[in-house]
Amino acid sequence: MNPKLAAVAVVIVLIFFFGQRFVKTVPPGHVAVAILFGEVMPTPYQEGLHFPVNPLYSWVDYDTREKTLKETAQVPTQDQLQTTVDVSVQFEINGAMAPEILQNVGTQAQAVNVYLTPKLRSLVREQGKMIPKAEDFFLEKTQQILEGNLEAGLRSYLEPKGIIIKAVLVRDINLPAVLTQAIEQKKEREQAVERQKAELERFRTEQLQQVAAAEAKRKAAEEEAAQIRILAEAQAFEIREINKAVAGNQSYIQLQSLNALKEISKDPAAKLYFMDGSSTQPLPLMNLGEPMGGRR
């Protein structure tokens, strides 16, 4: 074989089998760390196409996009009860520190298992010891303090190690069964008390309404009595005035007597009797107004 042709063939074969090793493509949201004969290269490769690169490199990729770690931990409180707390940690890998992470603990998953998960569990238990009673977990203030302390503790510990903490969220809280039953019984008692209060309030309202109705009736009766009294006083005044007017007026009395006799005379059965023949007014009723005893 021609030596030149043989050399060209060898080059072509080498390019075919090893040419792709001269190119490194890093996916979006990732960094790549190169390793040469067990030595970690200090500078990571950012996303995109890199050419040429040492074909002898081996690569470890790290996903630098934001992720969520969900953890469930048993948290003891000061009342010696174990509460189950579900926590979510939002984090991302610091791409610039990927070579250091690889050199210290290994891959991204190993970094999470070695750094993040144990520290999270430890902090959750420590924070639980600061809570007096397990049922305090349901207080909004307690949850805010727990989230804030966990986030601060994780950041101070993990960011120097290449893990950036974005947020810590308490997803769910499950109290011990004995405490859950006690809380349910307490709620039932509180509901019963509220129902009793509502019934007492309804009864009090009805009583107030009855009192108001009785008061209204009393005032109405008083007003009616006052009106009757005023009318009676008016009638009495009228009678007194009439008596005063006619007391010294004999002609008025006799006029009324004549009117009365006229009315009597209209009755066919009526009869007139002369009362006193010596009287100046011998007809009945006509001597009204004369002095007692008449004339002699």
CA distance 118 to 62: 21
Q: Same structural domain for residues 100 and 170? A: yes
Q: What CATH number did the domain enclosing 135 receive? A: 3.30.479.30
84 by DSSP, 3-state: which?
A: strand
Q: Name the β-bridge partners of 70.
A: 88
pLDDT digits (tens, 9 = 90+) for 218-240: 899 999 999 999 998 888 888 88
Task: Give a yes or no: residue 1 inside a domain.
Answer: no
pLDDT digits (tens, 9 = 90+) for 135-194: 888 888 888 999 999 999 999 999 999 999 999 999 888 877 776 777 778 888 888 899
Overall number of domains in the chain:
3
The overall longest dimension of the chain from CA atoms, in Å, is 196
Task: Give a yes or no: residue 257 inside a domain.
Answer: yes
Q: What are the backbone dihedrals phi and psi of residue 91, each rounded to the nearest 5 degrees, phi first?
A: -150, 170
Question: Where among 181, 198, 220 does a domain terminate?
Answer: 181
**pTM reported for the whole predicted model:** 0.58
CA distance 77 to 186: 20
Q: Same structural domain for residues 71 and 177? A: yes
Task: Give a yes or no: residue 283 inside a domain.
Answer: yes
Mean pLDDT of 198-220: 90
Q: Same structural domain for residues 238 and 253? A: no
Per-residue tokens: 149:
């302390």
Q: Same structural domain for residues 114 and 193? A: no
Task: Give a yes or no: residue 7 inside a domain.
Answer: no
Task: Give a yes or no: residue 277 inside a domain.
Answer: yes
pLDDT digits (tens, 9 = 90+) for 53-86: 888 899 999 999 999 999 998 888 888 888 888 9
Compute CA distances 216 → 183, 206, 208, whole Å.
48, 15, 12
Confidence of residue 292 (pLDDT cuts 50, 70, 90): very low
Q: Same structural domain for residues 170 and 81? A: yes
Mean pLDDT of 209-221: 90
Compute CA distances 161 → 23, 50, 104, 257, whole Å.
30, 27, 9, 132
Rg (CA), the chain: 58
> For residue 240, what pLDDT is reported?
80
Provide, rounded to the nearest whole percent, the portion of the chain with pLDDT above 70.
Answer: 81
Confidence of residue 90 (pLDDT cuts 50, 70, 90): very high
Q: What are the backbone dihedrals phi and psi of residue 40, each rounded to the nearest 5 degrees, phi first?
A: -85, 125
Task: Give a yes or no: residue 31 inside a domain.
Answer: no
Amino acid at 83: T
> For residue 295, what pLDDT is reported?
43
Enclosing domain of residue 197? 189-247
Compute CA distances 119 → 81, 152, 238, whole Å.
22, 12, 107
Cα angle 96-41-60, degrees, rounded to a multiple of 5: 75
- Mean pLDDT (the chain, rounded): 83
pLDDT digits (tens, 9 = 90+) for 6-34: 777 776 766 666 667 788 999 999 999 99
Q: Same structural domain for residues 220 and 171? A: no
> For residue 294, what pLDDT is reported?
47
Task: Give a yes or no: residue 10 inside a domain.
Answer: no
